Amino acid sequence: MNNNPMHTLARVMTDKFIAAAPQEAATALAALATHEVLLLVGGLKAQQLVCVFNRMDAPKAAAVLRRLPLKQACYVFTHLEVPQAAKLWKEFASPYQERLKSVLEPAFVQLIIQTNGFEPNSVGRFLKTDFVAIPTETKVAELISRLKNLPRKKLPRVCYVTGRNGELKGAISTVELAFFNPQAVCGSVMSKVPALQPQSAVPSSAALFEESALSVLPVVNEQNILIGTLDKAALLQVPAKKTLWDKFTK
């Protein structure tokens, strides 16, 4: 990493710019050459990279991402909004896609490849892949220790429990962890939770949110493998269907 004081100052200023005006920062960075963007974002935290790459034009974001260290690139890529990650995937050359496939979960890769085929108002277009999942045999103490290492803003409301192949088994509310025996395995203290399919329409999930009284629901594929979550707030992002009266009056 370049330790030039001016480069360090530029990265600090870029960090502040992204925090204050992420869309403007993404636009400004996209106008620079790829090597210039790398100099400015090379020392930033992964969360800041996610923030700006989510808003950057896909060709430039892909060009920068594939020049980052593979481990860092995979973290950023898997935390992008799913539609944006799908756009970047199409920009990657086949050899780089194969490198990513060797590291990423197969279910995540399948989701990204399929995303462009989902309807605009489907769950797959709004789900998030930034979730915490642990195997059924994980002890409660281990889960608590893992959560302690997360930034407060990243602390999930719910942790998901999965089987050997990533299939959804249940969920544990984060606030309830303090009441469980630390040596108990998560599979014995989890609760069953309803799940959504990525092809489902977001408005149709409203009833499931109401029935479960949950603010976030897991999303699984055809094999019941956990691939993401849908926040109840997504219901507000889907435009309501226009009535015949609306069409005549506008």
Check whether 245 has a pLDDT greater than 90.
no
Convert the pLDDT of each residue in 130-176 to its tens digit.
899 999 999 999 999 999 988 787 889 999 999 999 999 999 999 99
Mean pLDDT of 73-83: 92
pLDDT level of residue 76 (50, 70, 90 thresholds): very high
Residues of the chain with CATH 1.10.220: 5-104
- Where, residue-wise, is CATH 3.10.580.10 in the chain? 133-236
Q: Comparing 213 with 154, which gets the higher pLDDT?
A: 213
Average pLDDT taken over every residue of the chain: 88
CA distances from 250 to 7, 238, 245, 247 (A): 53, 19, 9, 6
CA-to-CA distance for 113 and 133, rounded, in angstroms? 22
**Domain 5-104 CATH class label:** mainly alpha
* CA-wise closest residue to 187 among 169, 164, 167: 169
Statement: 133-236 belongs to CATH 3.10.580.10: yes
